[in-house]
Structures are given as C-alpha cells and as structure tokens.
C-alpha cells in the first residue's frame, strides 16, 4: 500500500490495519481534470526533455530519458488512462515517481500536462471513489479530495502502473545485454 498504515486496536483486542489517506499530495493536470500523487512517492519534477522512443513497447510508454546517467522510462499518463493525446506544451513535464517490483525500487517518469501545487489534504476532505459500475476498476483511486477549487482525484501510483510497466522500467535499469536476453526469452515464450 502506498500510503501509511496505522495499526489500531479494536474492542475485542484484535489489531487491524487502517489506511491513512491524509497527507501532502502533488497535484497535476491532465486536460481539465486534476489529480494528486502522494508526495512521498515523487522523486522529482523535471521539464520536458528529449525522449527516445523504444520500439515494441506498449502504446502508453512514450520512451526513455537519460536523467543524470540513469535511463528512466516515461509513461504518457493520458494514453494510459485512455485519453486523447495532445501536443506537448511549455507546461508539459515529467514527474519521476518511485514504485517497486518484488521489493526492489524502480523509478518511472509520468508525462503530465502541467503540475499545479502541493496540497496538504485532511482525511475529512477525502471521500471514497464512487462505484460507477461493474466494468470499472477504480483500484487506482485512493479517494476524491474536496478542495476549494473543486475535486482532485488521488491516485495510487502502484495501481496506476501495471506490473508490465514496472517490469519494463526494471529491465531498462539493467545492463543492455541482460535486458536483451530477457526480451528474447519473453518473445520465445509468446
């Protein structure tokens, strides 16, 4: 779980884990909608830089960047969410977040239209995501934050990123010959 958990004692003496959603969130825009990521998962925010396309990656993987000697994949969050992609602007930026696969930390860049601000959101201002229907999986939404400017959709970055996104990031962090061997093996079993 990406947010803190607190162990609470319940009357029968048992313990239960309760998710704490309150905290600081980096908010950003995709079109007219505003989203938030737990600030503790954000490593840095960088302006748009040269992104190298990588063949045979999923459509939502925009490519990779060289960030101070480290290759980091960049995911187009608009494409991941099924939104129409748009031309980059001066406000387009990359939020480098940390996720994990099997306990190993992995950094991934997410391309967003613009970064807004950091908000300190209280638990009383966060509501659960509404049930929209049987075909909607909202596991990636921590909750909906009510702010003076409207509603922010708070995201669980580990749920937004699929296992394959994180594996791609992990493979890009390997030595090139190791990644090539793993890719060849993956192609053989498909």
Residue 102: pLDDT above 90? Answer: no
pLDDT band at 163 (very low <50, low <70, confident <90, very high): low
Q: Two tokens at 48? A: 């748009």
Residue 179: pLDDT above 50? Answer: no
Residue 89 phi, psi (nearest 5): -125, 180
Q: How many residues does the chain have?
A: 190
Residue 168: pLDDT above 80? Answer: no
| Residue closest to 88 by CA, chosen among 116, 113, 62 | 113
pLDDT band at 136 (very low <50, low <70, confident <90, very high): low
Instruction: For helices 163-172 and 176-189, give the axis angle rounded to 10 degrees.
Output: 140
- Supply the DSSP symbol for 84: P
pLDDT of residue 158: 86
Q: What digits encode the pLDDT tens for the residues 9-18?
A: 445 444 434 4
Q: What's the topology of domain 5-128+136-177?
A: OB fold (Dihydrolipoamide Acetyltransferase, E2P) (2.40.50)
Residue 174: pLDDT above 50? Answer: yes
pLDDT of residue 104: 78
pLDDT of residue 14: 46
Q: What digits encode the pLDDT tens for the residues 73-94?
A: 999 999 999 999 999 999 999 9
């Amino acid at each position: 779980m990406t947010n803190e958990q607190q162990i609470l004692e319940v009357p029968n003496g048992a313990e239960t884990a309760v998710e704490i959603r309150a905290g600081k969130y980096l908010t950003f825009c995709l079109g007219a909608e505003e989203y938030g990521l737990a600030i503790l998962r954000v490593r840095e925010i960088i302006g748009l830089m040269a992104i190298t396309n990588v063949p045979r990656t999923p459509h939502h993987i925009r490519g990779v960047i060289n960030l101070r000697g480290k290759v980091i994949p960049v995911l187009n969050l608009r494409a991941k969410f099924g939104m129409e992609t748009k031309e980059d602007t001066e406000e387009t930026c990359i939020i480098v977040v940390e996720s994990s696969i099997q306990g190993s930390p992995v950094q991934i860049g997410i391309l967003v239209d613009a970064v807004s601000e950091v908000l300190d959101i209280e638990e009383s201002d966060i509501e659960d995501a509404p049930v929209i229907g049987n075909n909607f999986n909202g596991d990636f939404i921590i909750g909906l934050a009510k702010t003076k400017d409207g509603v922010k959709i708070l995201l669980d970055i580990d749920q937004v990123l699929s296992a394959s996104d994180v594996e791609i990031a992990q493979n890009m962090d390997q030595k090139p010959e190791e990644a090539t061997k793993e890719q060849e093996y993956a192609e053989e079993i498909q």
